[in-house]
Amino acid sequence: MSLGDDHYRPIDEVGVIASVDGKVAVVTGASRGIGLATVVELARSGAAGVTITARKPENLEAALGVLRDADVADDLVMALPARADSEEAAAETATATVDRFGSLDILVNNAGTNPSAGNLMDVDLGALDKTWAVNMRAPLLWVRAAYHTWMGTHGGSVVNVASVAGLRPSPLMGAYNISKAGLIHMTRQLAHELAPGIRVNAVAPAVVRTRLAGMLLENEEMTARMHPLGRVGEPEEVARLIVYLASDAAAWMTGAIVPIDGGVVGAASSGIS
């Protein structure tokens, strides 16, 4: 797992940002990138159990190896293969989590995809449907599963992984941008509907060093210049914000969309180029 460059302080040098002592979490899309980094940070911050999901069992096995290397105890983590856009998988995962760990206090909707690059007039509609199913419909399925299994009675915290792409248009990314814009509005809608017992917030990263960033990292120097802080983000940096929002340290936050973007949104709104 990446620990970054000269500008990035490794996670062990930063310390615990917020405590989630005794809480149990589900993290979707947790086999790599932001999701996997979030599991490490949850464990370091006192979580009593974390269920991780991914579509492919072999990716989960690899993730468990990374977690062992990061000194995350085997009995703290349960790995379950699950398609993010499957209502049945969401319900089964929520039930299995409560059965194994005794609660489901935190849900991190991290799973995402972007197979649909192109202008909206030309993009393949099958790819568009897949993008919207995973990025927009799936988070609702997992919130509903968590709600009906545990949170509806006991409360909890949901953190959705959105994107700065959901805050403004950009070339060739229309289907993805719309899916993240929908997730941003869904976050606010769910925060309104589920208060006061369940808090729902979202993070909105810019380009982070993950596989999903794909072609944007092929010319990292150019991509870095798009960010006022002069570099792309690291998964661990986003993970710390996710855990903060999930924790009681953010107990008076709900419906918040928090950019973590190297200054992209703030610079654009202030006219800085």
CA–CA distances in Å: residue 155 to residues 37, 41, 47, 49, 150: 25, 22, 16, 17, 7
Whether residue 196 is preceded by a cis peptide bond, meaning omega within 30 degrees of 0, is yes
Q: d(Cα 110, Cα 205) in Å, to the nearest integer? A: 12
Q: d(Cα 206, Cα 264) in Å, to the nearest integer? A: 7
Question: Which residues are annotated as catalytic?
Answer: 176
Cβ–Cβ < 8 Å for 258, 203: yes
Q: Which residue has the tokens 């918040």?
A: 256
Residues 18, 66, 236, 256, Cα dihedral to 10°: -60
DSSP letter string, 215-257: GGGTTHHHHHHTSTTSS-B-HHHHHHHHHHHHSGGGTT--S-E
Query: Can you say whether the dihedral through the CA atoms of 249, 179, 58, 232 is positive or negative?
Result: negative
